[in-house]
Amino acid sequence: MDTLDVELGPRRYPIHIGAGLLRQAALYGEATQRPLRLITDEHVAAHYLPVVRETLRLGDTQVLVLPAGEATKTLASVERVMDWLLATRLPRDGWLVALGGGVVGDLAGFCASIYQRGVDFIQIPTTLLAQVDSSVGGKTGVNHPRGKNMIGAFHQPRLVLADTDTLKTLPPRELGAGLAEVIKYGMLGDAAFLGWLEENLDALRRLDEAALRYAIRRSCEMKAAIVAQDERESLAGGAGPRALLNLGHTFAHAIETYTHYTAWLHGEAVATGLCMAADLSARLGWISTDEARRCEQLIARAGLPVRPPAGMRADDFRALMSLDKKVASGKLRLILLRRLGEAVVSADFDAAALDATLAHYSA
Ligand code: NAD
Ligand code: GLY
């Protein structure tokens, strides 16, 4: 097992990564001494609820199983959770346990942030995306019909328990979506890790435990370091270190909006967005075309899309990207690669280069 800490002073917390962790009561820390309520979804419950229940000695009334999927990340679910917590009288010193992917983690974390003005919670992420991204860093929240993740709070967990065994039941497309975020970390912050991914992608896809543990650890180390510097994405008017985690995401959000958040998984849209960010960086002369091609080849080998959906035109990208949160004073800010393994936030790029990238990807 590997453990690393997210260094946030008094709110510092550990991330444990490895196989067979769910049944090790000692890893749940103080949670074993607290009144607990666990939130999960129906898919995850079928596989992992029995072992977590047994380890934490949870009774029936302490568990809430919600429908799986993004449609659960709503204010209506928050109300349902609040009703359940009040009906079962979770005291203020009680903790919530989030067992599941990013949907359960974001929802349970947000509920923990508001129940009786805030209780503690722990994250037990069961998707690769949640293990390398959403369970770490304290962003919690739900969607609103007018926008994704529009209602939320920063609320850090007390610990994260990433059991790599849980990935064995993950549908292959969901594993791919997580791999896109792992590749993102290499591109934005560590060219050597990108090289390691090129060597070890096949091992990751066949769920080799040591390879998964290393990839999750390296991803979490990078995210933890960024979160420790810029916990609330508030530095430099939102263009500071934490914004770098959004490499590829401006293009991805345009694709997700264009496809109405249904046809593509977020990680799949990020995969194509990473290709587009690398292509634009190469057109600006910041990375070489060979380096951009390397990124695209790795993403394709992970079984991820490297082109936008058929029919999506440059004008669709332009219209949808201008709605992006990263537009400051009317100017589009993009996360680009100054070098392979070094992302920057830039509003100062040649508009003709962006036009060329959009034309290339909508041809
Ligand atoms: P998800 O939680 O919907 O899980 C994907 C699917 O896999 C679901 O059907 C789920 O039931 C199933 N599942 C989960 N674990 C499983 C397992 N071990 N075996 C079998 N099936 C399993 O999706 P996700 O990709 O984990 O998370 C996406 C969400 O995360 C989005 O809402 C996104 O906004 C959010 N997110 C948040 C942050 C953050 O910083 N808070 C970062 C990235 C993404
Ligand atoms: N997923 C981006 C962030 O946590 O900031």
- Residues near 343 by beta carbon (within 8 Å), at least 6 away in sequence: 187, 188, 189, 244, 247, 335, 336, 337
Going by alpha carbons, the residue nearest to atom 21 of ligand 1 is 170
Q: What is the sign, positive or negative, of the torsion defined by CA atoms of 329, 144, 155, 248?
A: negative
Residue 351, judged by CB atoms within 10 A of its CB (0-12, 13-18, 19+), counts as exposed
Q: What is the pLDDT of residue 238?
A: 86
Distance from the CA of 273 to the center of ligand 2, in angstroms? Answer: 16
- What mean pLDDT value characterizes the chain? 96
Per-residue pLDDT for 30 more than 70? yes
How far apart CA 45 and CA 76 sit, in angstroms, is: 21
Nearest CA to 245 out of 270, 265, 213 is that of: 270
- Catalytic residues, which ones? 117, 139, 181, 223, 233, 242, 246, 249, 253, 266
Per-residue pLDDT for 334 more than 90? yes
Q: What is the pLDDT of residue 244?
A: 97
Token digits of residue 97:
């346990």
Give tens-digit pLDDT for 281-317: 999 999 999 999 999 999 999 999 999 999 999 999 9
Give the type of residue at 204: L
Which of the listed residues 106, 128, 133 should we mutate to test ligand 2's pocket, taking the one with most ligand atoms within 8 A of CB?
A: 133
Q: What is the pLDDT of residue 288?
A: 98
Per-residue pLDDT for 325 more than 60? no
How far apart CA 192 and CA 289 sit, in angstroms, is: 18
Tell me the pLDDT band of 174, cut-offs 50, 70 and 90. very high
* Residue 133 CA, closest ligand 2 atom number: 1
Nearest CA to 142 out of 168, 119, 121, 112 is that of: 112
User: Across residues 8-13, what is the average pLDDT?
Assistant: 96
Distance from the CA of 232 to the center of ligand 2, in angstroms? Answer: 10
Distance from the CA of 320 to the center of ligand 1, in angstroms? Answer: 24
* CB distance 271 to 304 below 8 Å: yes
- Residues near 212 by beta carbon (within 8 Å), at least 6 away in sequence: 128, 164, 167, 204
Going by alpha carbons, the residue nearest to atom 12 of ligand 1 is 43
Smallest-distance ligand from the CA of 129? 1
Give tens-digit pLDDT for 183-215: 999 999 999 999 999 999 999 999 999 999 999
Distance from the CA of 174 to the center of ligand 1, in angstroms? Answer: 8
Q: What is the pLDDT of residue 329?
A: 65
Q: What is the pLDDT of residue 133?
A: 98
Residue 234, judged by CB atoms within 10 A of its CB (0-12, 13-18, 19+), counts as exposed
Q: What is the pLDDT of residue 237?
A: 87
Q: Is 127 close to ligand 1, i.e. is its CB under 6 Å away? A: yes
User: Across residues 93-113, what is the average pLDDT?
Assistant: 98
Give tens-digit pLDDT for 132-146: 999 999 999 999 988
Supply φ then ψ for residue 301, to 5 degrees: -65, -25
Q: Containing H/E element for 316? A: helix 314-321
Q: Is 181 close to ligand 2, i.e. is its CB under 6 Å away? A: no
Beta strands in the chain (DSSP E): 2-6, 13-18, 36-41, 63-66, 95-100, 120-125, 139-144, 147-154, 160-163, 327-328, 331-332, 334-339, 342-346
Tell me the pLDDT band of 322, cut-offs 50, 70 and 90. confident
Distance from the CA of 223 to the center of ligand 2, in angstroms? Answer: 8
Give first-to-last CA distance, the chain, whole Å: 47
Name all domains of the chain by residue range, CATH numbers in brackets: 2-169 (3.40.50.1970), 172-362 (1.20.1090.10)
Token digits of residue 234:
């508030």
Give tens-digit pLDDT for 232-286: 999 988 889 999 999 999 999 999 999 988 899 999 999 999 999 999 999 999 9
Give tens-digit pLDDT for 40-60: 999 999 999 999 999 999 999
Q: Is 333 close to ligand 2, i.e. is its CB under 6 Å away? A: no
